[in-house]
C-alpha cells in the first residue's frame, strides 16, 4: 500500500514540529491509540486498536524516527503485530514546509501487511488507511484551530 497527501496546519513550522513530537498530543490524535510510550528521542512503543472491514485488531509495535531534520521533517518507520489479524510494517516520510503563519505538511507512506488483513483486499485496506489518516489530521488540526465566538 502506498499513500501520499498534504495537509495545511494552522500554525507555524516550529509549533507544528513540536506538536508532532509531543507524546500527549499524539496519544490524543492517533485514531484508536491506547498507549504511546517514548523510549528515547527516536523510539516509541505504541498500542492501537483498529477495525478494517471485518477484522478487528489490537496492534502493538514500535515507531522509530530517522533522517531527522528539525523542524523540516523526518521518516517514521513502524512495525506492528496484531496477533491473528496479522502485521503491518512500513515507513512514512513527513515534510513540514512553512507558509506564512501556517505549515504545509506533506507525507508519503508505504506499508506492507500480512495475515488476515492481507486477505481482505487492497481496496478495503487502502480505504481504511486513508480514513485513519483523515481522522488523524482532522483531530490534529482541531486541536490547534482557535474556536470562533459562539462555537460552544
Q: What is the pLDDT of residues 71-80, one digit of tens each?
A: 999 999 999 9
Give pLDDT, residue 138.
92
- Tell me, letter by letter, the H, E, C secondary structure of 16-62: HHHHHCCHHHHHHHCCCEEEEEECCCCEEEEEEEEEECCEEEEEEEE
> Where do the domains of the chain lie?
2-144
Q: Is the peptide bond before 71 cis (omega within 30 degrees of 0)?
A: yes
Rounded mean pLDDT, 38-66: 93
Predicted model pTM: 0.89
Give pLDDT, residue 64.
97
Separation of alpha carbons 70 and 124, rounded Å: 35
The residue behind cell 485514531 is 31
Q: What is the pLDDT of residues 89-148, one digit of tens each?
A: 999 999 999 999 999 999 999 999 999 888 888 888 888 889 999 999 999 999 988 766
Give pLDDT, residue 144.
87
61 in Cβ contact with 81 (< 8 Å) = yes
Mean pLDDT score of the chain, rounded to an integer?
A: 92
Write out the DSSP string of 103-121.
Answer: EEEEEEEEEEEETHHHHS-
User: 108: which strand partners?
Assistant: 4, 93
CATH number of 2-144: 3.30.530.20
Amino acid at each position: 500500500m502506498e499513500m501520499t497527501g498534504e495537509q495545511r496546519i494552522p500554525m507555524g513550522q516550529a509549533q507544528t514540529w513540536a506538536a508532532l513530537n509531543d507524546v500527549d498530543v499524539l496519544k490524543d490524535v492517533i485514531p484508536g491509540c491506547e498507549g504511546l510510550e517514548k523510549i528515547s528521542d527516536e523510539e516509541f512503543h505504541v498500542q492501537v486498536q483498529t477495525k478494517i472491514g471485518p477484522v478487528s485488531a489490537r496492534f502493538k509495535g514500535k515507531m522509530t524516527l530517522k533522517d531527522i531534520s528539525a523542524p523540516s521533517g523526518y521518516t517514521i518507520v513502524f512495525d506492528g503485530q496484531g496477533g491473528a489479524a496479522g502485521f503491518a510494517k512500513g515507513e512514512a516520510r513527513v515534510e513540514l514546509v512553512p507558509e506564512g503563519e501556517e505549515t504545509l505538511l506533506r507525507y508519503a507512506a508505504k506499508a506492507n501487511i500480512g495475515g488476515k488483513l492481507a486477505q481482505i483486499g487492497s481496496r478495503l485496506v487502502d480505504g481504511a488507511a486513508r480514513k485513519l489518516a483523515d481522522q488523524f489530521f482532522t483531530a490534529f488540526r482541531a486541536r490547534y484551530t482557535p474556536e470562533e465566538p459562539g462555537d460552544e
